[in-house]
Amino acid sequence: MVFDTGSTAFMLLATSLVMLMTPGLAFFYGGLVGRKGVLAIMMQSFVSLGITTILWVTVGYSLCFSGDIGGIIGNLNHAFLNGVNLTDAFSPTNNIPTVVFVAYQMMFAVITPALITGAFTERVRFKAYLIFQIFWLLLVYFPFTHMVWGGGILAQLGVLDFAGGIVVHATAGMAALASVFFVGKRAVKESQPHSIPLIALGTALLWFGWYGFNAGSELKVDEITSIAFLNTDIAASFASMVWLAIEWKHTGKPKFVGFLTGAVAGLATITPAAGFVGPKEAALIGIIAGIVCFYAVELKNKLNWDDALDVWGVHGVGGITGVILLGVFGTTAINPAGANGLIHGGTSFFLVELGAVVFASVYAFVISYGMLYVIDKITPVRVNSEEQNIGLDETLHGENAYLI
């Protein structure tokens, strides 16, 4: 088998970029929390590189991309990567090695549960988190990956999700909201991020990695790869400036953290549509993302939900908004493999996208809340007030990020 070396090389690079997003998320979250919980939140991201990889190669890849059981989940024919040969091409029309696709999709699985951790930072025990992560992947992430990307029921209904608005951001964001309701508010709440430079570093790594996340989702190098790359930057840039402008008007000062948060909101929102819309639509999606996600966070604050790092408002609302906007702006003029959205006469496609993201959101919320309830019966999920006051770095891990 002679593989397309250009596409293979690009996909290896894209895989590396998506892997880099998980440490980037750790830095982003680490800067947002207080000094006494930096290592705890960062470790929750980094540990996913280990535990999710193990789960992925044993059963995860097979459950997502092997066979089909009721349109919901795959089978175990490729468990432990059985039958995945070095000489196998991904598909007859996509001449990259299957093992590269395995690695690329693994990096998506790694970062998705890590996104949730920002919501319950400084409140959850590490043991409970590990159990939650394993079963959340098995019960939420793997089924939706199969349903949308593995030929399952949502794919059969015509649902499109270029790089994870449903599979990644909507499910993680709604799981985050469920965790906020279950674990309750922090006993010790620091109102300001402890390190804005860390947040900036994390955002830079996320933004950089997102080119692999979105452009790589074409799974080869062609014109769709290029437009997805460009749209990623356009949406992030517009969203960051819109968020900055709105917050500036509200507070009277331009906030760096607001700019950075707006960029992440734009990145999350363009994700499902990146390869299905043009640059003008990407700019509009970025503008809408900046507005909608900003006011989602404002609503969360007004309702006094302790989503510490705004996972629901940025990733959840961003992902949901992006899927809906794909149903509005999608066009086969950009990508013949896509679909026409509402403004191009595709009413049925819009309704399919809307129904899919509502279903995914409700399912992820209910299952996540139920999982936490069950886990709490086995081992305590929430740390006590004294442990929160001392700090999770010290009480859970016996380490400190700073000597002074």
Q: How confident is the model at residue 403, as a pLDDT?
A: 80
Task: Determine the Cα–Cα distance for residues 44 and 122; give it in Å rounded to an integer.
Answer: 11
Crossing angle between the packed helical segments 279-303 and 256-270, to the nearest 10 degrees:
120
Tell me the sheet residues that pair with 94.
Answer: 91
* pLDDT at res. 404: 64
The total number of residues written for the chain in this structure: 404
Phi and psi at 158, nearest 5°, equal: 95, 15
Q: Within 13 Å, how many C-alpha atoms sit on residue 83's CB side?
A: 10
**pTM (2 d.p.):** 0.97
3-state secondary structure 158-201: CCCCCCCHHHHHHHHHHHHHHHHHHHCCCCCCCCCCCCHHHHHH
Termini Cα distance of the chain:
58
- From CA 102, how far away is CA 96, in angstroms rounded? 11
Helix/strand/coil for 96: strand
Nearest Cα neighbor of 275 from 332, 207, 225, 344 is 225
- Residue 279 CA to residue 235 CA, distance in Å, equals 9
Instruction: Give the residue among 167, 173, 171 at the shortest CA–CA distance from 217.
Output: 167
Reading the chain (404 residues) residue by residue, the pLDDT tens digits are 689 999 999 999 999 999 999 999 999 999 999 999 999 999 999 999 999 999 999 999 999 999 999 999 999 999 999 999 999 999 888 899 999 999 999 999 999 999 999 999 999 999 999 999 999 999 999 999 999 999 999 999 999 999 999 999 999 999 999 999 999 999 877 768 999 999 999 999 999 999 999 999 999 999 999 999 999 999 999 999 999 999 999 999 999 999 999 999 999 999 999 999 999 999 999 999 999 999 999 999 999 999 999 999 999 999 999 999 999 999 999 999 999 999 999 999 999 999 999 999 999 999 999 999 999 999 999 999 999 999 999 999 999 999 86
State residue 196's pLDDT score: 97
CA distances 296 to 119, 140, 278, 300, 363, Å, are 14, 24, 26, 6, 20
* pLDDT at site 1: 67
Cβ contacts of residue 187 below 8 Å, gap of 6+? 385, 388, 389
Sorted by where each begins, the domain ranges of the chain are 5-397
Count of beta carbons in the 10 Å neighbourhood of residue 240 = 25
Query: Taking the domain 5-397, which CATH number applies?
Result: 1.10.3430.10
User: What is the spatial distance between Cα 353 and Cα 110, in angstroms, rounded to a whole number?
Assistant: 25
Rounded to whole angstroms, the Cα distance separating 301 from 284 reads 26
* Dist CA 279 CA 231 (whole Å): 6
